Amino acid sequence: MSGRNHPVLRGLAVLLLTVLSACKPPAPQAFPEQAPAREKNALTVGVLLPLSGAQASFGTDAVRGVELAVQEINARGGVLGRPFRMEIRDTRSEESTTIEAVRELAAESSLPLIIGEITSLRTRAAAHEAQALGIPLLAPAATQQDLTTEGDGIFRSCYADPFPGVAMAKFADSLEANRAAVLEEENNPYSKELADNFVGQFQRDGGTLVARETFQPGDPNLRERLEAVKAATPDVIFLPSYYPEAAEVVRTARQLGIETPFLGGDGWDSPEFLRQAGTGAKNCYFSNHFSADNRTPENEAFIVAFTEKYGAPPPPLAALAYDATRLAAAALEAAQSTDRAAVRDALAATRDFPGVTGTISYGSERTPQKPAIILSIQDGQFRYLETVLPDAN
């Protein structure tokens, strides 16, 4: 930059400061129901959510579940006799931002645990960092099978792979599918793990895998890959991916005249999938953790409260985040302390916690066994079809 005059240098300095400011970690998000951020007596828990970026819809749904849980907990007197609040960090759907947020939250010595993230890839990065820093982490929605092997401080409140892949393979049998194709996303551990488990169960049940193709987000060769799947004449196509990519695949497939049923996993869970896939979403099915159409004595009050507060029934990620927030509060009460080791031990001792997405109990793998909910897409809406129970141990 030699040879530039001082006014330009001053301009560059301003620009540099602007860029550096934009690179700062995201500020915590605030909610009116939670205790004020500066209230000295508040008991604070960290939360990691993708409130912007590629999977922002996930964070938008989840944050409402957190908000409702905090409101209810504070209405009952808070936690350990103190107001309960969440320090929520936007991960921007980025791994690097997630890791930095964990470091910042862990540096707050009074903060006993972290809830989050949503996707398996970023939760894995968060778990590795949290374990190294000695702060427990509770994942509400990350299903990657070996996630909790990062250490004894890593828990999840959802079921884990291979169950959703297995559940969809079992559901394929109810569609009388004998031939299946798989279209999985490259370099996405979530996609590969679901694909592997779907294929294994489908073949164990006597089905035939007729094609297995991969694709990338924005793949210029997507039509070619779909044509290869079409030529294999499958009865169903398993598409384990997140909602932006899944919507693009389904929409493109329908343009190519592929009317075969598509099956997916919980990564489809977003109203954006419906919007982006459009009429192509017809004849699609996926596994999930919760459906407001499936009312039970355990989830009825939650569904009513959420609908009254937000004017719409709760989506699955809101239910998962609601459970995780309540579970965190219960662990703090059981520990009677904010000491991180004591909170970790209290979480590990959890048995028969009544979640709205299913009962939560922890064994050595710190993963609950919960049912999978099968949803169909009808008239532009997600509709409850059936429940698939996990195999008994």
CB under 8 A, 24+ apart: contacts of 56-61: 56/93, 57/243, 57/270, 57/271, 57/272, 58/118, 58/119, 58/141, 58/269, 58/270, 58/317, 59/90, 59/91, 59/118, 61/269, 61/270, 61/315, 61/316, 61/317, 61/318, 61/321
Q: Is the pLDDT of residue 369 over 70?
A: yes
The pLDDT value recorded for residue 36 is 44
Mean pLDDT of 15-29: 40
pLDDT score recorded for residue 379 = 87
Give the pLDDT band (50/70/90) at residue 103: very high
Q: Does residue 248 have a pLDDT over 70? A: yes
pTM of the model: 0.84
- At 47-83, the pLDDT tens digits run 999 999 999 999 999 999 999 999 999 999 999 999 9
Q: Per DSSP, what are the bridge partners of residue 212? A: 182
| pLDDT higher at 171 or 5 | 171
Query: In this structure, what token pair is assigned to residue 201?
Result: 């169960």
Q: Is the pLDDT of residue 37 over 60?
A: no
3-state secondary structure of 113: coil
The token pair at 236 is 């169903």
What is the widest separation between alpha-carbon atoms in the chain?
75
Contact 289, 159 (CB under 8 A): yes
Query: Torsion-angle region of residue 89: left (phi > 0), alpha (psi -120 to 50) or beta?
Result: beta
Cβ atoms of 154 and 115 closer than 8 Å: no
Take residue 82 and report the two structure tokens written for it: 């103190």
Which distant-in-sequence residues (6+ apart) come within 8 Å of 83 by Cβ? Answer: 34, 35, 39, 41, 42, 43, 74
Percentage of the chain lying above the pLDDT 90 cut: 85
Q: Taking 90 as the threshold, does the pLDDT of residue 18 lie above it? A: no
pLDDT band at 22 (very low <50, low <70, confident <90, very high): very low
Residue 349, number of CB atoms within 10 A of its CB = 12
Distance of CA 367 to the CA centre of its chain: 15
Alpha-carbon distance of 293 to 296, in angstroms, equals 9
Pinpoint the residues of the chain covered by CATH 3.40.50.2300. Answer: 43-159+298-362, 163-288+373-388
User: What is the Cα–Cα distance from 280 to 80, expressed in whole angstroms?
Assistant: 50
β-partners of residue 154 are: 137
Position 392 confidence tier, pLDDT thresholds 50, 70, 90: low
Residue 162's pLDDT is 85
Strand partners, 114: 46, 137
d(CA 139, CA 141): 6
- Pick from 363, 344, 341, 337: nearest CA to 352: 363
Q: Which fold has domain 163-288+373-388?
A: Rossmann fold (3.40.50)
The predicted structure's pLDDT at residue 31: 44
Position 390 pLDDT exceeds 90? no
**CATH code for residues 43-159+298-362:** 3.40.50.2300
Residue 337 in contact with residue 119, Cβ under 8 Å? no
Return the pLDDT at 39. Answer: 64
Which among 193, 114, 198 is positioned nearest to 160, based on CA atoms? 193
